[in-house]
Chains A and B, each alone.
Chain A
Amino acid sequence: GESVGLHLPTLSVQEGDNSIINCAYSNSASDYFIWYKQESGKGPQFIIDIRSNMDKRQGQRVTVLLNKTVKHLSLQIAATQPGDSAVYFCAENKPGGFKTIFGAGTRLFVKA
C-alpha cells in the first residue's frame, strides 16, 4: 500500500553540526514531496518542498534531496541550532491526488 516512512525515529546532533533526516516512500507515482517541522505543542510547519522533476532544492540552511531511483528523500539542515529541535515529517502527494500522506516523523534533538 501507500506509505512514507522514516529510517530513524530519533536523531541527536551537536549544535553547529549538519543534520540529515531520511525518508523512504513507496509510491513511485508521487510527484510532489514536502518536509514539515513540528515543534512541541504546535502544528506542523512547511519547511521546503520539491517536485519530482528535480533532484535537489535548497532553502535557507535546508536542502532537500530526491532520489527517485531508490524512492528516497532526505532533508539536510546545515549548522543545526537548538531551535531546530522538533519532529520532522516527510510527506508525498500523487498527481491529481487530494491528500498528502505523511511519514511517521523523526525527532531531532540538538545538543548545546
Chain B
Amino acid sequence: DSGVTQTPKHLITATGQRVTLRCSPRSGDLSVYWYQQSLDQGLQFLIQYYNGEERAKGNILERFSAQQFPDLHSELNLSSLELGDSALYFCASSAGTGFGYTFGSGTRLTVV
C-alpha cells in the first residue's frame, strides 16, 4: 500500500456519460497530481493541485476538470466521455515540488 488511495479501481461507462474519480493523498502530502495513461503509453500529465489551489495544467481536455478539497483529497471529473478516454488514471502525491511522487494504484476507466 503506497498510502495514496484511488477509488474506484475499475469503472465502465457509456459514451456521453460523466464520471468522478477520487484520490486521497498520502498523509502529510499537500500536492496532488493527476496523470492519464493509455494502453502501453507513457504518463500524460493532466493537472496538479497544491493545498487546494491549482498549480499546473498539462494536456487536460476542457471536458475534464478537477479540484482539491480542504481535507486535501482530490476529484477528477470527466464528462461527455468518448471511447478515446478509456485509460488508466493515476493520482500521485508529494510533499511539495522537487520530490518524488507516490502513486496510487490507479482507476481503470473503460468507455463503451
Contact = CB atoms under 8 A, between A and B. Distances in A.
Contact of A101 (B4, B45, B98, B105): B45
Q: Per DSSP, are chain A's interface residues mostly helix, strand or loop, or mixed?
A: loop
Contacts of B92: 43-44
A34 B102 CA distance: 12
A102 B46 CA distance: 12
Interface residues of A, number: 23
B7 to A, nearest CB: 14
Interface string B33-56: 101000001110100101000011
Contacts of A32: 98
Interface in B78-112: 90, 92, 97-98, 100-106
A49 B94 CA distance: 14
B32 to A, nearest CB: 11
B8 interface: no
Given A44-B43, A102-B43, A34 B100 contact: yes
A97 B100 contact: no
Contact of B100 (A49, A98, A103): A49
A61 interface: no
B42 A98 contact: no
B104 A43 contact: yes
Contacts of B97: 93, 96-98
B58 interface: yes
A87 to B, nearest CB: 9
Interface of A: 31-32, 34, 36, 42-46, 49, 89, 93, 95-105
